[in-house]
Amino acid sequence: MDSIKEDVQKIFKKISKAKSIKDLIDIEESFDAKYKIKVEKNPEISFKIIKSELDSIDSEIIKKGFSFDKIKLKTPLEKLFYAMAWKQGDLPKLKHIVQGISDSENDVYDENRNSGFVFYQFGRYLTKKIGEPIIDQHILRSFIVYKQINKDKEVINNYLKLESISKKHIKWIKEYKKWLVSLNKNFKEDNYTYYIDRVLFALGKSIKKNNE
């Protein structure tokens, strides 16, 4: 447990001192490849999506989980990506992403939702507003353990076992976003949060493995 605490504190200290995306990539390089995000599968997203771009999608179609027979797909690319989402069983998740985009632009957060937290936050990230990161279990695990570093072993162990994000973790998502905003003054480059997410993904995956 002591080694895990030391690793977490060391990485967060390095992040707080980072001044560029290159610094963050250097921190990520300190992790074994098996813990790092496969960038070829999850490359940086350079575009953003705004609510007005989604206005052409009928709201009823979104609510019903993008019913295949009601969507009018036009381009081969639209059809290809729709087909992939369909094959993976991911169509119902799209409504969470869409709501995240809409709520982010309206500066509201849906605290009453009971599912789809990762996809909802991903939608918020796609608007590219400051303080709207990508999250998943590994990233949030890293941050919560960091914030609870002085708690007893049992408390930390509970968070090291974090497997999924639920309503009870909303407060941690909000704290994570505030922490990221506090680092904004350190970076002149856009999308630095993507690289912090990558570092914390590797950290969260490694501390879980080392606790098993």
* pTM summary value: 0.88
Q: What pLDDT is recorded for position 64? A: 56
pLDDT band at 14; cut points 50, 70, 90:
very high
Q: Is the per-residue pLDDT at 70 higher than 80? A: no
Instruction: Sketch the domain layout of the chain as residue ranges.
Output: 1-45+128-212, 49-106
Q: What pLDDT is recorded for position 75? A: 85
Q: Are 1 and 153 in contact (CB under 8 A)?
A: yes
What is the share, in percent, of the chain residues with pLDDT greater than 90? 57
Q: Is the per-residue pLDDT at 67 higher than 80? A: no
Cα–Cα distance measured from residue 49 to residue 131, given in angstroms and rounded to the nearest whole number = 16
C-alpha closest to that of 13 among 136, 132, 183, 131: 183
Q: What are the counts of helices (DSSP H) followed by strands (DSSP E) for the chain?
A: 10, 0
- Distance between first and last Cα of the chain: 11
Cα torsion through 75, 76, 79, 81, rounded to 10: -110
Give the model confidence (pLDDT) of 87-140 as tens digits.
998 888 888 898 899 899 889 999 999 999 999 999 999 999 888 999 999 999
C-alpha closest to that of 65 among 87, 89, 94: 94
Give the model confidence (pLDDT) of 122-131 as tens digits.
999 999 988 8
Q: Are 133 and 181 in contact (CB under 8 A)?
A: no
